[in-house]
Amino acid sequence: MRQLALGIRLRDEATFATFVVGANAEPVAAVRAGAAPSIWLWGPSGSGKSHLLQAACAAVGAPAAYLSLEPDDALPAEALAGFERAGLVCIDAVDAIAGDTRWERALFALYNACTDLGTRMIFAARAAPRTPAWALDDWRSRAAASVVYQLRDLDEAGRIEALRRRAERRGIELPAETVDYLMRRQARDLRSLLALLDALDQASLAAQRRLTVPFIRAALERIEGTRS
């Protein structure tokens, strides 16, 4: 797989094999199958939208494009031109530009070009395609023409499994009592848990210590101390 150059690198761990499916079997199967010319995934932050888009890019045999429209990624609308020649175009946080006519025209043009060439597209957003405050009716109609799937948050068992998988990939020993402590004492949304695991991994490497409950308690106190 080759990713088209955009300054946005795919995360190595964002593959279908590492995705915890939970209640999302249907949308995951649809993304993997690649049968629909355009798919729209929507769900809350941390539900796995970015992971699935990047996994789809990693799985294709032809060049693929992953673009995030989050403001922090600072891509100009002109950056969309030409990507219809990719084997797959995945656009993340597409609702972040709702109401910006310049961006919506660029999306409309890209969608039409992809349709003409038979290039598949996958969009991800926090809401269904008709919900954002689009400025252009033409783009609204194109967005709504996608096959739509809602991504559900993982339940507690799913979040624990995702935490264990991340730890295993990093070679981290994560005893059951450590997992229990993290789930009881910290923010329980998946994104926060994975970010916390990454921070604790760095702390354990620096201290040459295992991730025991006493070590995590002390590390969290230090982390909280640096924030105050």
Domain boundaries, the chain: 25-150, 156-227
| Angstrom distances, CA of residue 156 to CA of 22, 52, 182 | 10, 20, 12
pLDDT at 4 over 50: no
Q: What percent of the chain has pLDDT over 90?
A: 46
Of 59-68, 79-88, 127-136, minimum mean pLDDT range: 59-68
* pLDDT for residue 69: 92
Q: Which CATH code, of 3.30.420.40, 3.30.420.10, 3.40.50.300, 3.40.50.620, is assigned to 25-150?
A: 3.40.50.300
* pLDDT for residue 205: 81
Burial of 143-177, coded b for 16+ CB within 10 Å and e otherwise, reads beebebbbbebbeeebbbebbbbbbeeeebebeee
Per-residue confidence band for 226, with pLDDT thresholds at 50, 70 and 90:
low
d(CA 66, CA 4) in angstroms, rounded, equals 8
Q: Which two tokens stand for residue 15?
A: 């593959």
pLDDT at 192 over 70: yes
DSSP H or E segment with residue 149? strand 147-150
pLDDT at 1 over 50: no
d(CA 204, CA 201) in angstroms, rounded, equals 5
Is CATH 1.10.8 what the domain over 156-227 is classified as, yes or no?
yes
In this predicted model, what pLDDT tens digit does every residue of 33-73 receive, in sequence order?
Answer: 988 999 999 999 888 899 999 999 989 867 899 999 988 76
Q: What percent of the chain has pLDDT over 70?
A: 89
d(CA 15, CA 120) in angstroms, rounded, equals 18
Q: Which two tokens stand for residue 44?
A: 């809350």
List the Cα angle 153/60/194 in 5-degree steps.
30
The mean pLDDT value of the chain amounts to 85
* pLDDT for residue 13: 74
CA-nearest of 42, 23, 18, 7 to 153 is 23
* pLDDT for residue 223: 65
Q: What is the DSSP string of 84-135?
A: GGSSEEEEESGGGGTT-HHHHHHHHHHHHHHHHHT-EEEEEESS-TTSS--S
- Where residue 40 falls (left for φ over 0; alpha for ψ -120 to 50; beta otherwise) is beta
Per-residue confidence band for 197, with pLDDT thresholds at 50, 70 and 90:
confident
Contact 194, 187 (CB under 8 A): no
Contact 164, 179 (CB under 8 A): yes
